[in-house]
Structure 1
């Protein structure tokens, strides 16, 4: 099964980047294409809405990149709703390095999204 997983990131270090705690205000997104459990490509993109964003623009950006999943530390309830409407599975409550979160996700150990405290 092929899929693209997006990670909100604080750094431009690929899989070594730290997962950002606020998905919409992170400076980068790491996009990882996987086939089964094999990483095929890794691409880092700057957040085009880093300095200012309106509700829905970041979820639409992630969806246009053909991501199936977005993984972040935190996310507001409206963003979660946007992702669900766009067919992108949001996963929140994640910290640490992107590579560790990727391993946990591929191992079936990550799922679910809830609004972070500052947004609920």
Structure 2
């Protein structure tokens, strides 16, 4: 079964790119397709302007791209709830230095599921 994973990434994206700290404010996402624990495809897509739909715009954008899992270092409560409602599993990737290492950690079961305890404070619902 194929799984599409999104990782907020620093430019230029790809497996060697570092993870961006907050999913909603990243410049781009690296989308990694995995099948049978093997990377099958890597695609880099730009993020959409945060103003169009606020915190939920990137959630819908990734759902439209058939993303099933997301690895993030930080996000607010509203987007986390949005991903949960869309059926996208969110994992906490704060220790991963690169996109590739985050994917490897996810495949091998070393990443924890992102919970309310990991969400950022601040502003209305901690939009990151």
Equivalent residue runs for 1:28-107 within 5 Å: 28-49=28-49, 52-53=51-52, 54-94=54-94, 95-107=96-108
Structure 1 gaps, min length 5: none
- How many residues are aligned here? 119
Partner-residue secondary structure (3-state), 2:102: helix
Q: Find the aligned partners of 2:49 and 2:91 in 1 and give their Cα distance.
A: 20
Query: How far is 1:87 from its partner?
Result: 0.6
Q: CA RMSD in A?
A: 1.6
Q: Find the aligned partners of 2:7 and 2:107 in 1 and give their Cα distance.
A: 14
Q: Find the aligned partners of 2:55 and 2:75 in 1 and give their Cα distance.
A: 12
Structure 2 gaps, min length 5: none
In the superposition, the TM-score normalised over structure 1's length comes to: 0.91
